[in-house]
A and B are shown apart, each in its own frame.
Chain A
């Protein structure tokens, strides 16, 4: 296949970026999107040009590193698929493809397609855990968890922290990310003691960082490669309301 790429190039955080055009003549349909970029980069290096920087690691859709807006959609056209798992068979010979970094105030560009997503770690630090020290755990079977709750908790826990939800949201809100963690832990008995403080602390942290507010657009759940349901946000709101009525305070 022949593919024309228009890629966001930006030297560093302070530089002004722009779209650059590259042509590739020999793209195989079984290549992954990132392998296609590898081919481009090999070519650029041999020409003495700076290769395109992009985050990637496991290339199996689980580490959450890769993050590209492809033709305007975070992670590209295929549903429930990260950039690394997107294959070129979903494009046609002669296509022009736009490749950009996540665009969100809370995720500043570092270089080219690489952004700084450390704000997500800060949200987790605000309460995305069960406060149990190593060694203090009771026997695993001491607390049964009904299968439905365990399965629903698992669905929320599959979040890979890639940030596509923020990139898709017109407000740049991290609501789906925060909601996924609050849902995961809030559905399990182990998460109950801190359920209320967790919800308000994480929400407060999110607001304190550069994320926007949630106005129920729903674009986040549309692009989420792990299919985190939009209903998680209702659960977060529910927990925040409950916590507020109960007079809980952020940690």
Chain B
């Protein structure tokens, strides 16, 4: 790592962090925003087709970003090694995305354009994202739909045979393409089949059930990874010319989230500890429409797609503690609070606003269901207006899923919903080329921080994953490889030896603790702490409390965790333990970031910073920057170092976000 490794100018930040030198993205061309991506593509260096197969690219993760990148780089002729911890690349968590994917096609002739998608996304992100990146995302959105249709993704269509779209939160146009409530699945199967085609063609070497446990940085470049085979426990190294992480978000730090159980931060966190900056960890998205928790044993939360807010109406009883069944509460005694508070966007306000409004209602004791932690999402009017058949055609599978989990029939009684952690906007810092601060380490998809600012709009995650995977990385990774192939390294390189030794050491340490508490019990405690103090509402006092507790929780974990079995074979508790160990460290950085950001923006709501009517109050004067954190070191009490990237808004002028 270059400039950043210089001694930080040790300005004391509240005693919990240090202030380092500012950083900047120097990769976006200086041209007008609409020309930057074409200019960058033209200036990017190319690699002669004959040389491509001599270069190896490691891609970790096979979701939309990783799967698409591996397939595309394979098609281009590079030697690709692809890794996933699941038993098949088709199971990556992108598969669970329900609602849809945005694209500025303007097929509806409703005033959409690349510029409007760009504008909506920058505004939706509460003016905390980088204009260059977001504009590129909006441009590329057009190609994504074309690509997916050509692959045979069965998008919803109208009787004309043309593609159907629907509306999502935070926009007033209908630009969301969808495949019933299973859009993520269909897009992922598209990327997966492209990937399998390359595996068959021999350009991609697939390593399923293989977990990345460390990054190998040799002579200043990312040159490989250390992996553990989930089947045999074997620790191996894979060396390459470039490493790309598309390893998803870190929502499982909260234990209960809508993420898959296996989703984890380990790959990204290991890279962070090897020198990659981690940006905006406190920007986490809480999705307003999830099925509420039903008991202590709860292992995960299930999302009900945001698309439901197109036709469902959100309400609570006007009377506190009104526990009549919903159908017995007359119309005039219901508070359709989103329609009341935000008349122009109504039930389709962005996620952060809808979530906070639900929390406020529950805090005011107007919540419904067990513990008063829920609000109603009611389809009675939609069924009356459109007929049950039409509602079923649109949302049938979601209604079934709801009924399967809760035992209630949403055609008859309103759904009960409550916010839950769903997505993390923060992630490894990258420049316009999606390069991290470690040369040769690229980061795509949810694992990077780049496009959503402080809040992601619905149907934008699929767009970003595929934009990075199909179009951005396949341009910028070759630009890096044009300098390669790099000096060959082998297993005897000191950096490789050290990474393997430290990985083995960690596993031995976990196995030898032989304490009294299960991994899940620590994870639940961590999750509750982070949810309480760094969830929907954050305060200085609460964050400090969490920061005081976390080091001791971590210490208890390493001393008292109990893992049965050995490291050389299939051992699911050991896999979990390694991931929870990293979440324990990440949690501390999240709270530090949340504490340092003395403003409210998007998903980050500091109770000290709100307007009179309870809306988030940004502080553009002091906080219009990306907070990119450098790892402070392993020694106890080491402080993370903050590097600021100033954000410039030349096209979308920051304003108080209003959806009223």
Q: Which residues does A use to contact B, with CB under 8 Å?
A: 12, 28, 30-32, 34-36, 38-39, 42, 44-46, 48-51, 53, 55-65, 78, 80-81, 85, 87, 89, 110-111, 114, 116-118, 120-121, 124-126, 128-141, 143-147, 150-151, 153-154, 157-158, 160-161, 184-185, 188, 190-191
Contacts and interface: CB of A to CB of B under 8 A. Distances in A.
A30 to B, nearest CB: 4
Interface string B293-328: 011011110110000000000000000000000000
Contact of B150 (A45, A111, A137): A137
B251 to A, nearest CB: 13
Contacts of B250: none
Contacts of B145: 140
B151 A150 contact: no
Given A31-B297, A51-B573, A126-B200, 13 more contacts: A12-B569, A35-B298, A39-B297, A42-B518, A48-B564, A51-B572, A58-B96, A63-B93, A63-B95, A111-B569, A130-B152, A134-B68, A158-B182
Interface string B534-564: 0000000000000000000000000000111
B58 to A, nearest CB: 19
A64 B444 CA distance: 24
Nearest to A134: B72
Interface stretch (B11-19, B159-167, B269-277): B159-167
Contacts of B389: none
Given A30-B294, A59-B300, A63-B95, A147 B159 contact: yes
Contact of B93 (A57, A118, A120): A57
A63 B151 CA distance: 20
A185 B149 CA distance: 11
Interface stretch (B377-385, B399-407, B496-504): B399-407
B572 A184 contact: no
A65 B573 contact: no
Given A57-B86, A65-B91, A118-B208, A147 B161 contact: yes
24 contacts: A57-B86, A57-B260, A57-B262, A58-B93, A58-B261, A59-B300, A60-B303, A60-B401, A64-B91, A80-B400, A87-B405, A111-B570, A121-B206, A125-B197, A131-B197, A132-B150, A137-B147, A138-B150, A140-B163, A147-B157, A153-B152, A157-B186, A158-B182, A190-B149
B96 A62 contact: yes
Most buried by B among A64, A124, A140: A140
A45 B572 contact: no
A144 B146 CA distance: 12
B401 A63 contact: no
B572 A38 contact: no
Contacts of A12: 569-570
Interface of B: 68, 71-72, 75, 86-91, 93, 95-96, 105, 107, 143, 145-147, 149-152, 154-163, 179-180, 182, 184-186, 189, 192-194, 196-197, 199-200, 206, 208, 231, 260-262, 294-295, 297-300, 302-303, 400-401, 404-405, 407, 470-471, 474, 516, 518, 520-521, 562-565, 569-570, 572-573
A127 to B, nearest CB: 8
A181 B570 CA distance: 31
Contacts of A50: 564-565
A188 B260 CA distance: 31
Contacts of A51: 564, 572-573
B151 A121 contact: no
A85 to B, nearest CB: 5
A85 B155 CA distance: 25
B87 A55 contact: yes
A61 B303 CA distance: 12
A139 B295 contact: no
Contacts of A35: 297-299
Given A34-B299, A161-B88, A184-B152, A53 B261 contact: no
A208 B273 CA distance: 46
Contacts, number: 218
A134 B470 contact: yes
Nearest to B68: A134
B565 A65 contact: no
Contacts of A146: 157, 161
Contact of A60 (B86, B262, B302, B573): B302
A46 B518 contact: yes
Given A62-B182, A65-B87, A188 B154 contact: yes
A180 to B, nearest CB: 11
Nearest to B97: A62
Interface of chain A, main secondary structure: loop
A135 B295 CA distance: 48
A81 B161 contact: no
Contact of A129 (B151, B186, B564): B151
A171 B147 CA distance: 38
A153 to B, nearest CB: 4
A145 B262 contact: no
Contact of B88 (A118, A158, A191): A118
Given A62-B95, A81-B404, A85-B405, A136 B150 contact: yes
A30 B407 CA distance: 9
A188 B152 contact: yes
A184 B260 CA distance: 26
A216 B247 CA distance: 42
Contact of A58 (B95, B160, B162, B565): B95
B187 to A, nearest CB: 11
B538 to A, nearest CB: 28
A28 B160 CA distance: 49
Contact of A134 (B107, B194, B208, B294): B194
Given A87-B404, A134-B194, A140 B261 contact: no
Given A60-B401, A154-B179, A184 B564 contact: no
Contact of A85 (B157, B260, B401, B562): B401
Contacts of A135: 143, 147, 470-471
Given A63-B93, A85-B404, A87-B405, A38 B299 contact: yes
A134 B200 CA distance: 17
B196 A129 contact: yes
Contacts of A45: 518, 562-564, 573
Given A62-B95, A85-B405, A147-B158, A161 B90 contact: yes
A126 B295 CA distance: 45
A115 to B, nearest CB: 9
Nearest to B177: A140
B146 A137 contact: yes
A128 B196 contact: yes
Given A38-B297, A125-B197, A63 B75 contact: no
Contact of B196 (A117, A124, A190): A124
Contact of B154 (A48, A65, A80, A157): A157
